[in-house]
Amino acid sequence: MKFLQQLVLLASIFFFSFGFQFLCYGICFSSPALATSPDGVSIKDQIVGLANDPETVEWMKKVRRKLHENPELAFEEFETSKLIRDELDRLGISYRWPVARTGVVATIGSGSPPFVALRADMDALPIQELVEWGNKSKVDGKMHACGHDGHVTMLLGAAKVLQKIRFTLQGTVILIFQPAEEQGEGAKQMIQAGVLENIEAIFGVHLVHRYPLGVVAGRPGEFLAGCGSFKATISGKGGHAANPQNSIDPILAASAAVISLQSIVSRESDPLDSQVVSVSMIHGGTAFNVIPDSATIAGTFRAFSKESFNALRERIKEVIKAQAAVHRCTAEISFEGNEHPSIPPTFNDEKIYERVQQVAKEVVGEENVELAPRFMGSEDFAFFLNKVPGSFLFLGIRNERTGATHCPHSPYFTIDEDVLPIGAAIHAAFAHSYLSDSTTDSHSF
């Protein structure tokens, strides 16, 4: 009996000691005010330290250079996807593949709620690289001219960091490696494949030359414009140009439509509500002395709010059809081109934006975090933001010393690789912060 009493006493002491330590450990990682590990090192310092570990930095550079040498276009990212899967296998991170043909969706953490997502796009552009360096594109006519090789690398870097601190995650991080951003179809197909199931918040980054290396910029609410394309075929009646009275001239109708379209923004829109309508293609006729049967015009339109975007689309349709009718022609208009589908405005959730800003300030310093203006560029990350709250962020790469001064989609575009650990740390810190605060909000200790 005495032995049994001693055994019970020892078990009670062990349980109390271990249970108390475990409880303290849980509290310190789930309270934003106590975001430190038991040894007193803050989670932020751990994440930044892991991202900047020399071996990790060199690994990220090697990954990025492999990706850069082997660019693949939209929905052709097979080798890119394989490289991502190989690295995830080495890190011991589980994933689903294929998702939306070439996409990869990885999971780190408890496997239970809350769920937060991080996204990187994978595809390259049909551009011939003109930057002369040791890891230049090996594929003629294809190039990572928009920084997506950097985006993938930073997310893999974040995966490595999060995997090392996975036992501190108070929920689950979903890593979305998305195809076909440049085509505007990748995000939609990933959503259709169910990647946002149970996701409470999502975060994405784009490298930009506009800001110096390491400077972070974003804004709440309307950030990037919605982008639509249109193509109109105006049909008349062809004939000899010497006898125009016997023809119905589609060239004249197309010309009138182009001029009238310019008045939508200049005379019908609120000057404080930025919008764009640009006609960038005209095709009609094959001979100088023949009036053709038809002419085609095409272009783009952009706006920051969904209301303005949809209204602009309807007005473009009305103007083209009306001008065609005035000149006795008919018009057929398409707004869903296969190469350039419509993309909604990118709208940052204010609460998620504030969290991103706070995390960014902790990683790069408050002096390196800026409020960005609105940009007329578009991004298919907007499709994710239409479904769940989230935030999109610009991360600067501009550095004259390394030649990182050219805009995206330029054959001279390059990045400063010193940005890679910065981006990896911001990704990982946001995910950890979101899960910790969400757990604190929903659980009481």
337: number of Cβ within 10 Å: 14
Query: Which residues are documented as binding site?
Result: 146, 148, 182, 206, 409
Q: Answer yes or no: are the C-beta atoms of 388 and 196 closer than 8 Å.
A: yes
Structure tokens at 304: 């920051």
Taking the chain, what is the end-to-end CA distance rounded to the nearest angstrom?
37
d(CA 254, CA 232): 9
Q: Answer yes or no: are the C-beta atoms of 413 and 146 closer than 8 Å.
A: yes
What region, left, alpha or beta, does residue 185 occupy, with left being phi > 0 and alpha being psi -120 to 50 degrees? alpha
Q: Answer yes or no: are the C-beta atoms of 172 and 112 closer than 8 Å.
A: yes
d(CA 259, CA 73): 36
d(CA 61, CA 50): 15
Reduced to 3 states, what is the DSSP secondary structure of residue 119? strand
Reduced to 3 states, what is the DSSP secondary structure of residue 10? helix
Q: Answer yes or no: are the C-beta atoms of 226 and 414 closer than 8 Å.
A: no
Whose tokens are 């764009």? That residue is: 276
Residue 438: predicted pLDDT: 79
Closest of 350, 42, 50 to residue 220, by C-alpha: 350
d(CA 99, CA 190): 7
Query: Which residues are documented as binding site for Mn(2+)?
Result: 146, 148, 182, 206, 409
- Mean pLDDT, contiguous 10-residue spans, the chain (445 residues): 47 41 36 48 92 98 98 98 98 98 97 97 98 97 98 98 97 98 95 97 98 98 95 97 96 97 94 94 96 96 93 96 98 81 93 97 97 95 97 98 96 98 98 87 37
Name residues whose C-beta falls within 8 Å of residue 262's C-beta, 6 or more positions apart in sequence.
Answer: 277
Closest of 211, 216, 191 to residue 202, by C-alpha: 191
Please give the backbone phi and psi of residue 216, each rounded to the nearest 5 degrees, phi first.
-105, 140
d(CA 315, CA 305): 15
pTM, whole model, 2 decimals? 0.86
Structure tokens at 103: 């996409």
- For 225-358, strand residue ranges (E) read 226-235, 239-240, 275-284, 290-291, 294-303, 330-334, 346-348
d(CA 123, CA 312): 30
Residue 441: predicted pLDDT: 54
Q: Encode burial over 284-310: b for 16+ CB neighbours within 10 A, e otherwise.
A: bbeeeeebbebbbbbbbbbbbbeebbe
